[in-house]
Structure 1
């Protein structure tokens, strides 16, 4: 009966889907396969010495749609080096969902947030549509600070999977309302209209302000915040691609770390480079490379903090690969890259897992995507939810 209700809800919720999912709409004539190199940014090498065996803080960084080819495209474009090169502990994750060999971002996000396999489209619920506890919620219960950062709408599948519990990823307004049911310290991403232009007539930003959040829309103003709770809603729906939004993601990542690290009991932060996936959907090598380099520079911000702090674990992975990207040519000296694609959708290939910091050695070998949050929960000393 629950699944029947779910499908009815999902069908109703699909009406606003076009605007939210329009990044998937392409024709093969729009395919862009060649990226011409630009000047490389400098990549610093960081020490591998840490202060403890277990972390006080964890930063989970998800490159949506990021497989090994996307990483190598970015490495090529940056003339042979990425901040990811600092990660010495590397493994692979199997990404299938409970009902499909090819996962979507909702099931993939829930696997990474709660350690359970669920059906495609599920947000923080199990295959029976029952709520499952996420690592972000466990961190809140253990008095750690918590945050979410994304270049998509903050109500989109991946970030939503860490904070919301809904039977369908398309229920954006219900997902926005779920933010009010938590004590998350900060979130930065798009989705402003899901809080303000709602069918129920409510303006959830008013409620956020009552709960003590600073509600801001401009990334320059967001970057100035030095303390307190923060709701950074940087676009009505999704943020634009990198060539329009600029360094929003590295700035948001650094801002989040600066605010969350004020808690002596530690923090959990999830950062998503959402639009690597969208470049794959659009079979656009330029889009992929630009988003990959932006995500890597955000990793650089996390590494800069973690190397100084010595008590912070960074885990970098993906929910799935998108586009079936192949590396068909390139030049490490010039940064030129040429790629081909096998699909405009997701693929079932394993995705990489990188770890840096206390406990990083636990993230090697081939694992289930559900193992990643379980390992993080164990390193935090949390009891696994039943």
Structure 2
């Protein structure tokens, strides 16, 4: 693609660039040719939504339910775009407690999603690429598994494949994040109640010839292939496999993430013992990798809107802790200027890879005060374990 064609493509997305350079980048959800490598990009959002005021009062000292929300590849600047691109307001501002997480893995100063997710799910540092393992390479029990053993209902939601690194780190134990078929089998090692994402091919079109869809049916899951089938589910176990691999970006899939999260909460909350749910906004990370500001901001808004839906539930419930964070930052993304009155931002990147910077942690509900300060990412899991008395 030549420079003129690149500028025309950027203009079609409402993005202008003051400097472009050719660079190849292969990452899920976008074309193999990187959309743009920039000094600065101006983007004007086409979506806004009202933000409801949420009370921060809780009726419990300890949480019965925990919702962990991970916006993959998201640093402070990415979270700020949810505010600045939406009439200077966002649900992330309704989180009363803020802290910061240091994200280094066991073997690398700059983590990946596998080690980052595993630290949040297990409280152990692991090597980049490892799923649900501890410092010695052994399986480390996850928050989801601990809650399952305690009799709570459990769930996972992602806009990537459900076997991708972050959701996998809450349910699987594998030496490599690339082992999607083995990770899919690990879903049968727990009694998980709800999981919704892409990744159908890792259950149905496998090299070993196994048909895990039939096995899910035998275990009593309703297997759904569309968001309408997901939202029509009112009880029982649910496996939503909404794409062969990753789901399409927000501009194509629409409100799948908030609808999936609301459905999961309705199903999981039927258990009087409580529940654990992890919700990942997977594709903010892909916007960072591709230096694609439209993808980054639209995915960030989708995540924030979904957070709003979870906050509305938690406010009414009074016994639900919500923890919002990221596994790492991607792209060295910054907001350089803009006009918030017009929902226009000027942004730039320093990288097409992960960075080593701290990432924010936000908390709401009973026990939220535990999450203030600066700490290792492993402390997020340990704080939740302490509050829920998990072992």
TM-score, normalised to structure 2, is 0.91
Other-structure match for 1:13: none
Please state if 1:292 is matched with 2:274.
no
- Give the CA deviation at 1:200: 0.7
Shift in CA distance, 240/22, structure 1 to aligned 2, threshold 3 Å: closer
Tell me how far apart the structure 1 counterparts of residues 135 and 61 of structure 2 sit (CA, whole Å).
35
Checking the alignment, whether the CA contact within 8 Å between 1:64 and 1:273 is kept in structure 2 is: yes
Other-structure match for 1:82: 90
- Give the CA deviation at 1:34: 2.3
- Give the CA deviation at 1:95: 0.2
Other-structure match for 1:350: 358
Other-structure match for 2:249: 241
Shift in CA distance, 76/19, structure 1 to aligned 2, threshold 3 Å: closer
Tell me how far apart the structure 2 counterparts of residues 379 and 367 of structure 1 sit (CA, whole Å).
17
* 1:23-62 mapped onto 2 (5 Å cutoff): 23=30, 25-27=32-34, 29=36, 33-62=41-70
Tell me how far apart the structure 2 counterparts of residues 231 and 129 of structure 1 sit (CA, whole Å).
29
- Give the CA deviation at 1:30: 5.7
Checking the alignment, whether the CA contact within 8 Å between 1:280 and 1:288 is kept in structure 2 is: yes
Tell me how far apart the structure 1 counterparts of residues 79 and 27 of structure 2 sit (CA, whole Å).
26
Other-structure match for 2:190: 182
Please state if 1:151 is matched with 2:186.
no
Q: Any idea what the Cα deviations from partners look like across 1:163-184, whole Å, max 9, x if unmatched?
A: 0010000000000011111100
Other-structure match for 2:265: 257
Checking the alignment, whether the CA contact within 8 Å between 2:155 and 2:277 is kept in structure 1 is: yes
Other-structure match for 2:223: 215
SS in structure 2 of the partner of residue 373 of structure 1: helix
SS in structure 1 of the partner of residue 341 of structure 2: coil
- Give the CA deviation at 1:21: 4.4
Tell me how far apart the structure 2 counterparts of residues 33 and 203 of structure 1 sit (CA, whole Å).
46
Checking the alignment, whether the CA contact within 8 Å between 2:27 and 2:290 is kept in structure 1 is: no
**Structure 2 stretches of 5 or more lacking a match?**
1-24
Checking the alignment, whether the CA contact within 8 Å between 1:33 and 1:286 is kept in structure 2 is: no
Checking the alignment, whether the CA contact within 8 Å between 2:28 and 2:286 is kept in structure 1 is: no
* 1:1-386 mapped onto 2 (5 Å cutoff): 21=28, 23=30, 25-27=32-34, 29=36, 33-383=41-391
Shift in CA distance, 104/179, structure 1 to aligned 2, threshold 3 Å: same
Tell me how far apart the structure 1 counterparts of residues 52 and 256 of structure 2 sit (CA, whole Å).
21
Tell me how far apart the structure 1 counterparts of residues 390 and 210 of structure 2 sit (CA, whole Å).
36
Checking the alignment, whether the CA contact within 8 Å between 1:33 and 1:284 is kept in structure 2 is: no
Checking the alignment, whether the CA contact within 8 Å between 2:29 and 2:248 is kept in structure 1 is: no
* Aligned-residue CA RMSD (Å): 1.5
- Give the CA deviation at 1:19: 8.9
Tell me how far apart the structure 2 counterparts of residues 20 and 360 of structure 1 sit (CA, whole Å).
35
Checking the alignment, whether the CA contact within 8 Å between 2:26 and 2:32 is kept in structure 1 is: no
Q: Which runs of 4+ in 1 moved over 3 A?
A: 18-32
Tell me how far apart the structure 2 counterparts of residues 325 and 29 of structure 1 sit (CA, whole Å).
14
Tell me how far apart the structure 1 counterparts of residues 66 and 167 of structure 2 sit (CA, whole Å).
16
Checking the alignment, whether the CA contact within 8 Å between 2:333 and 2:349 is kept in structure 1 is: yes
SS in structure 2 of the partner of residue 140 of structure 1: helix
- Range with greater deviation from structure 2 (273-282 or 328-337): 328-337
TM-score, normalised to structure 1, is 0.92
Tell me how far apart the structure 2 counterparts of residues 240 and 329 of structure 1 sit (CA, whole Å).
29
- Give the CA deviation at 1:82: 0.5
Tell me how far apart the structure 2 counterparts of residues 161 and 213 of structure 1 sit (CA, whole Å).
22
- Give the CA deviation at 1:28: 6.8
Tell me how far apart the structure 1 counterparts of residues 254 and 263 of structure 2 sit (CA, whole Å).
15
